[in-house]
Structure 1
Amino acid sequence: MKRPRQILVVDDEANIRKFLKKSLERDGYEVRLAGTGEEALTSLEDERPDLLVLDVWLPDANGMDLLSDIRRTDPDLPIIIITAFGEIKMAVEAMRAGAFDFVAKPFDFNTLNRSIENALKISTMRDELNVLKSVWERGQYRGLIGQSSVMQELFRKIERIGASSTTTVLITGETGSGKEVVARAIHQNSERKEASFVAVNCATLDDHLLESELFGHVRGAFTDAKTNKLGLFEVADGGTLFLDEIGEMELRLQAKLLRVLEDKTFRRVGGTRDINVDVRVVAATNVSLEKSVSEGRFREDLFYRLSVIPLRVPPLRVRGQDVILLAESFLTQYNHEFSRNIAGFTDDAKQSLMDYDWPGNVRELRNAIERMVLLQDGDIINANSLPVAIGKRKSPILKSTQASPLLPFKSAKDRIVKNFEKEYLENLLRTCEGNVTRAAETAEMERSSLQRLLRKHSLNSRDFKKVSNLA
């Protein structure tokens, strides 16, 4: 459950403090009170509120001086000033000193409440912008690395998902693209971050073992059930349960999972008692669940229940310079782990890393860097240090750019550009499953420009959409 926004009310009049506390708590806020400047400063030191309501007249302090002191230590804290009627000049000075707004006594509570809502809304937007600015500058976000537009959009979506700690999320993406890292980022960005994150791969266990792993069992439920066992739903209570490769789960078990998602209850294998749990489920798959539904291998109701919020992790081949950011991050990690001191990559090595299409995605890149750090003789990785496959295998897009010396320069150039454009667009649409808006974002170009190119090469985005027989 999301924490209520906290407001500190500082006013020397007890009846006003009491009125504001009652009114604001009725609107869902958590309210702390202070009657003096000293009490206010002590309260601020103990815990930072989301907003401060401050009377300018206090028995032991000048509210304007207090405002300035607070602004120096916490410039982003929204502050609403309460002034006596006729003190507009002081209110204007307070606004110049950094207050968000002012309300004159005797005030209308609805006016104050609107001001509080606006201040908190702007404060939230500022916090989100600061997070995204930090992400862009460092190219890192809760364990994820990337400055490409597709990753920045993914970061923004994860940040927004943090507003809900109960909604199920379905993460799709190719093998090795980082779906579990995304799931952990979702957990860390939620109100559940202090509780457990528990991960299980549904493809590694058979149906009965997976059922016992998820839901636990009672003693005697089956031959080897010598004692009672907690399931992962109980272990993850209050936190997040990550179900990787959810598409491999058998239909019988899917029905039991659906019940937990809808009723928040389940029974251990062999048990008769309902157990209540509070768990957020994040699932992931590298196959089309829509296709599995149409083929009768996955429950349609479970698919819709899991995919309340769908997230797609982009493959590494469309992430551009992120390949180098990731390679350098892994190099730092394995230098430390293996007590090596490899300085970095030469330009030709970087180019080879960029040219390779990475069918195994981030996992393949991580493994390649680990191997290079272990086997590297010199203090820098060059193109000759790379595994043979990476040095020779280029992205399919680049294969069409080999120029023929038997053609005039202009003809060869025109042919290369035409082939490149068509192959690039085909790969782009295939990756984005025919979604033109997502394709334009991935290519970092205007949607109208992309559509012109598609018409030029007689490409129809509908031909690249995944087939689904869902009603």
Structure 2
Amino acid sequence: MNNTNVIGKILVIDDESINAETMMDTLEDVNYQVSIAANAQEAKRLIENQTFDLVMMDVWMPKQDGMSLLEEWTSAGFLTPIVMMSGHAEHKDVVRAIKLGAVDFLKKPLHDILPLVRKLLSNEATRDNQNSITGIDFDQPLKVARNIFEKEYFNHHLQKNNYNIAAVAVKAGLERTTLYRKLKDLGIDKNKA
């Protein structure tokens, strides 16, 4: 595929290769760039080296399942929208996935995924333009909500400034030592580059 025509980068995480390849064929036909990971470990390697506009992840996978990977990534401040998929999901799985930060939950086999992908990616572009805050439950105590905001704020500026602590400190109006302490308290890895 010609990279100049790519309209979005999508990571599909599914141990059933026939599902992943069918999704890839469908999405690449309309100029999405698709990478496939067969398990959580492969997905983590891909995420370390590339950025994606959307992640579509199966719930049931060997070793580490999709739910625990979703929880791991959202706890770490992962900002890419994640759609969970399953052919055997129960209502409680859907509720749990959404509470953990998934933007949607799809039943497999997937039919007509293009409208959904287009909608999610256009919503993400709109959300980026509005600099909106996601994932804050306003019924939480102020300290909890503030920590969620600060974590998202610092992750955003660290990524935007290529993890340059001095630049982020200036942007945040903090001394570097204060920023280091704040990042440590929030559990943010300041060296992720």
TM-score with structure 1 length normalisation?
Answer: 0.26
Match of 2:37 in 1: 34
Structure-1 separation of matches of 2:22 and 2:5: 25
Structure-1 separation of matches of 2:77 and 2:51: 9
Shift in Å, 1:46? 0.7
Structure-1 separation of matches of 2:89 and 2:65: 17
- Would you say the 8 A contact 1:101–1:115 is kept in 2? no
Coordinate RMSD, CA, aligned: 1.8
Structure 1 unaligned spans of 5+: 132-471
Structure 2 unaligned spans of 5+: 133-193
- Would you say the 8 A contact 1:76–1:123 is kept in 2? no
Of 106, 109, 125, which aligns to 2:109? 106
Matched, 1:43 2:46: yes
Matched, 1:127 2:128: yes
CA distances 1:204-250 after superposition (whole Å, capped 9, x unpaired): xxxxxxxxxxxxxxxxxxxxxxxxxxxxxxxxxxxxxxxxxxxxxxx
Alignment of 1:5-44 (within 5 A): 5-44=8-47
Matched, 1:56 2:59: yes
- Would you say the 8 A contact 1:81–1:103 is kept in 2? yes
Match of 1:79 in 2: 82
- Would you say the 8 A contact 2:11–2:52 is kept in 1? yes
Structure-1 separation of matches of 2:116 and 2:91: 17
Shift in Å, 1:86? 4.5
Structure-1 separation of matches of 2:8 and 2:131: 19
Q: Secondary structure at 1:106's aligned position in 2?
A: coil
Of 69, 79, 82, which aligns to 2:72? 69
CA distances 1:11-68 after superposition (whole Å, capped 9, x unpaired): 0001111111111101210000000110001110111110000001111212111001
- Would you say the 8 A contact 1:9–1:52 is kept in 2? yes
Structure-1 separation of matches of 2:62 and 2:99: 24
Structure-1 separation of matches of 2:124 and 2:55: 12
CA distances 1:62-121 after superposition (whole Å, capped 9, x unpaired): 21110011112344211111012442320221011110101112221x1x3222222111
Percent identity over the alignment? 31
- Return the structure number with greater relative CO, CA threshold 8 A, min gap 6: 2
TM-score with structure 2 length normalisation?
Answer: 0.62
- Greater than 4 Å deviation, 4+ residue runs: none
Shift in Å, 1:125? 1.0
Structure-2 separation of matches of 1:114 and 1:92: 23
Matched, 1:118 2:119: yes
- Would you say the 8 A contact 1:71–1:77 is kept in 2? no
